[in-house]
Structure 1
């Protein structure tokens, strides 16, 4: 009983004594200092990265296109965050007298064991490096991959973030990005098919449409040169199909197609030419008996 009383009394003195709380206070101050310094270095690093990529004329570093600059800036900030986080974590562990050198020495063996369980993570990181190195797409591009379309908002070491036309945010692991359609890498082509009734003269229709197309580059700034008629595309049951093709700036082909449809419809309507619509003929049972 006396032994238990002595233990409790010693524990009470240790808890209420100044040595314990001074030690805890020093540890907390050191951890807080490490966190604050990490945040400061991260902020300063981001400022430096923004300055480097802000004005190409004020730096000796030869950069590429704006698209690639945004990608490299985002990646640089990503790497900086990981590096500062790793260093800060090591310093915090050292505060608790964790043997850092021993941990790093055993990291090779542990890394081999972890590697078998983190193959997808390694695959994502390697794929991310190849995406950036080969310039498959950059921040700000409009792409389609894995059945998803959207603007590239961020390219990281592990994943890529897309924002769709309807506002959804998608995070795609880099290792799952296989086939990419990059609509921003080159000019697009607006393809429009116009249904025209057989009752109209095809030569007259082509003349009217050609006159319309010559005015479009002056009215809309998305076109590169004048749109052209590709000719008769198909012969349907009640109409023939005229195809129009126009070169546009990147990611503007859909807006260009809408503009062509609008202008062609309005001008054909002014000329008294209606766009054919599906027709349905209904025969009643009584009509069949009378005809017999």
Structure 2
């Protein structure tokens, strides 16, 4: 960077009002130059900093206002469905607002710094060229880091997942605890915390976005009436849906999709219930318990594995060891008898 010569006549610069006024009032070149160094430039730098602070405050206020409006806009829903959706909208709006405020702060700070450097009398052209070269070199040297940041930005904007969601990211699955621009932190069912780089995530399975579905396969014996089984499953699920505890967790009437599989063990009948996010597992556990109790009350047989032992019964008047020895002797070959 090349500084402007000190002996430039600042009073001849039409943009330097302070230096021109001091030179006009005093007629002294030195005082005019000193006023430019110790008064005009610091005052200009202070004004630039104040403008930058005000611009940042104004942009942050606008971003917060837009995010607050987007997060509090009511969504139509029934049976408690709107509450989790609105909560998710609020969390997403907060994340986007934080990201936008960080970006705006970085941009404003960069502009203010460049303007201060120019105000000090340095040529910012070479500085911009050097910054471009350094940025290009960093881009090649830190491609994985740039990839992580870019992927994180798209994940936040596209709302692929958020804090509290249960996701399957391929390398790990569990509850999302934190989402940053570089990594995503999740905790699995065993309590293990996984740190997954955003750039390494190639697929996202979100099991808690907007709504979920509890799918249950119930085995019944071949001798049971399938129509009776279907009616029983519907009746049990409907009674559960009417309970106060489960009313807000089951969003739509239960469905029995019918026979899903036929095997040697029995017939699999599938039931599906649309639930609130993250409630599918609790719903399916409760439904299994209720269905088993109702099947037992109605006498509907649920098949299970049986173990059958085959063997020769003991002879009359012979104990177990003698019977076993006699059976071995009966199966002996002529060579064994010799």
TM-score tier after normalising by the smaller chain length? 0.5 to 0.7
Question: How far apart in 2 are the matches of 1:80 and 1:263?
Answer: 55
Deviation string 1:151-192 (CA, Å, 9 cap, x unpaired) is: 333332222222334433322211111111122333221111
**Residue equivalent to 1:208:** 232
Aligned to 2:223: 199
Contact 1:232–1:242 at 8 Å: present in 2 too?
yes
Alpha-carbon contact 2:167-2:204 (below 8 Å) kept: yes
Aligned residue number for residue 144 of structure 2: 120
Paired residue secondary structure (2:210)? coil
On the 8 A contact 1:71/1:154 being kept in 2, the answer is no
Q: Describe the shift of the 1:206–1:56 C-alpha distance in structure 2 as closer, same or farther (beyond 3 A).
A: closer
1:275-286 pair list within 5 angstroms: 275-284=302-311
Q: Distance in 2 between matches of 1:205 and 1:157?
A: 51
8 Å CA contact 2:167–2:176 kept in 1: the answer is yes
Q: Is the 8 A contact 1:226 1:246 kept in 2?
A: yes
Q: What SS does structure 2 have at the residue aligned with 1:275?
A: coil
Shift of 1:54: 6.0
Is 1:72 aligned with 2:96? yes
Q: Partner of 2:282 in structure 1?
A: 255
1:202 Cα deviation after fit: 2.5
Change (3 A) 1:58 1:203: closer
TM-score (norm 1): 0.65
Out of 179, 183, 187, which is 1:163 matched to? Answer: 187
- The equivalent of 1:35 in structure 2 is none
CA distance in 2, matches of 1:203, 1:77: 60
| In structure 1, distance between residues paired with 2:110 and 2:157 | 25
On the 8 A contact 1:216/1:226 being kept in 2, the answer is no
Structure 1 window deviating more from structure 2 (159-168 vs 173-182): it is 159-168
Unaligned runs of 5+ in 1: 1-43, 91-98
> For residues 250 and 58 of structure 1, what CA distance do their matches in structure 2 show?
19
- Structure 1 residues 179 and 56, CA gap change in structure 2 (3 angstroms): closer
Distance 1:108 1:138 in 2: 34
Query: RMSD between aligned alpha carbons?
Result: 4.3
Alpha-carbon offset, residue 200 of structure 1: 2.6
Match in the other structure for 2:34 = none
SS of the counterpart of 2:271?
strand
Q: Is 1:271–2:298 an aligned residue pair?
A: yes
Gap regions ≥5 residues in structure 2: 1-56, 74-85, 114-121, 315-326, 328-338
Contact 2:70 2:89 in 1 (8 A): no
2-structure distance, mates of 1:85, 1:171: 31
Contact 1:67 1:140 in 2 (8 A): no
TM-score, normalization by structure 2: 0.57
Partner of 1:15: none
